[in-house]
């Protein structure tokens, strides 16, 4: 039987950072609360969580990159809300933020969880940040209940899983600096 590696287990010894955009504050506040609730439910102690505030979603990637480079965190969670308006600004911001977060994760070999909502309306963002309820489905896609939908909570769960998975994977964590040394 093949060996299975999963990101389950204790959060003991792990630190987490949550970066929260202040723009669309009612929504991002609930996303942050959801992420913190998930981390606490996973056994993370308060002193092992750092929360960093940035003005808007555009400012998330460089902060995520700096935190990842520090090697202090098992995972970093990014929460924000970019809501479509009547100009192409939405597309530019959404693209830059998602690409920047992905680049930081790849360059520094640290899980950086994308909990930034990109929605067409405020109502959609509210529904995805704990202001609405959604159907809970089983493995067969049958509705088995109704539960609050909070993408921040889901991001917190993903951070716990990925931090645990990364510490179980073989090999040494490699960031950009380590990769440069190897190529010489």
- Point out the residues that are catalytic: 89
Encoded tokens for 128:
């995805």
- Reported as half-sphere exposure (CB side, CA atoms, 13 A), residue 66 has a value of 8
Q: Which residues of 30-62 are buried (b: 16+ CB within 10 A; e: fewer)?
A: bbbbbbbbbbeebebeeebbeeeebebbbbbbe
Question: To 10 degrees, the CA torsion angle through 107, 77, 46, 147?
Answer: -150
Report DSSP letters for 103-131, one per residue.
Answer: HHHHHHT--EEEEEEEESSHHHHHHHEEE
The neighbouring-strand residues paired with 137 are 143
Distance separating alpha carbons of residues 106 and 112, to the nearest angstrom: 9
Q: How far apart are CA 99 and CA 105, in angstroms?
A: 10
Q: How far apart are alpha carbons 106 and 103 in whole angstroms? A: 5
């Amino acid at each position: 039987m093949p060996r299975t590696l999963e990101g389950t287990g204790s959060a003991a010894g792990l630190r987490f950072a949550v970066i929260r955009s202040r723009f669309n504050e009612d929504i991002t506040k609930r996303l942050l609360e959801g992420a913190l609730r998930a981390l606490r439910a996973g056994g993370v102690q308060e002193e092992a969580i750092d929360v960093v505030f940035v003005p808007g979603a555009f400012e998330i990637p460089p902060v995520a990159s700096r935190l990842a480079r520090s090697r202090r965190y098992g995972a970093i969670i990014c929460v924000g809300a970019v809501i479509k308006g009547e100009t192409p600004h939405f597309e530019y911001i959404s693209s830059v933020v998602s690409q920047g977060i992905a680049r930081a994760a790849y360059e520094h070999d640290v899980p950086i969880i994308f909990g930034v909502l990109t929605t067409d309306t405020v109502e959609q963002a509210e529904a995805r940040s704990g202001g609405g309820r959604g159907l809970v489905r089983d493995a067969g896609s049958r509705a088995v209940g109704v539960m609050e939908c909070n993408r921040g909570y889901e991001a917190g769960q993903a951070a716990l899983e990925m931090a645990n998975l990364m510490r179980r994977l073989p090999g040494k964590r490699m960031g950009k600096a380590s990769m440069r040394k190897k190529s010489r």
